[in-house]
Amino acid sequence: MPIIRQLTEAEADLQAKEQLVLQAGEATHHLASVLASTNARFWSLPTERLLAVLNADVPATLATFAANTALGMQVNASLNALNLSQLSCRAPVEPGRADIVFDGAVFVHVPTSAPAAVA
């Protein structure tokens, strides 16, 4: 009796399909990781430099944010559908800083207030 059972052609085809899906999932997971790291680097710029970049071309900035959000949502939906614990990183879909907001015309810094000290 062999230790390893020979797969039928149908079983081998199903296994190959699963391997291809996993390979695509791993590539998608890598994309999510790259999106997360580049997003973190971008939003970590000093406030004045970040505002200068965001406001240099506001329509282009807004279009980039919309595209990144759409891409992040699609990447995350794909990873969620696979539901594999080893593919846990997700792409960001929200701005990286709560203290930078779009006021309808430009991006501005809105300092967050620290909680008041209890006396």
Q: What is the pLDDT of residues 25-52, one digit of tens each?
A: 999 999 999 999 999 999 999 999 999 9
Domain that holds residue 81: 13-109
Q: Quick check: 76 and 14 in contact, CB under 8 A?
A: no
Q: Does 116 map to a domain?
A: no
Q: Does 34 map to a domain?
A: yes
Q: Does 3 map to a domain?
A: no
- The letter for the amino acid at 85 is S
Please list, in sequence order, all residues whose beta carbon lies within 8 angstroms of the beta carbon of residue 115, skipping any fewer than 6 positions away.
none
pLDDT-based confidence at residue 115 (cuts at 50, 70, 90) = low
Q: Quick check: 82 and 35 in contact, CB under 8 A?
A: no
Mean pLDDT of the 53-68 span: 97
Q: Does 4 map to a domain?
A: no
Q: Does 42 map to a domain?
A: yes
pLDDT for 69-87, tens place per residue?
999 999 999 999 999 999 9
CA–CA gap between residue 65 and residue 43 (Å, rounded): 12
Q: Does 7 map to a domain?
A: no
Q: Does 1 map to a domain?
A: no
pLDDT of res. 35: 97
Q: Does 76 map to a domain?
A: yes
Please state the domain count of the chain. 1
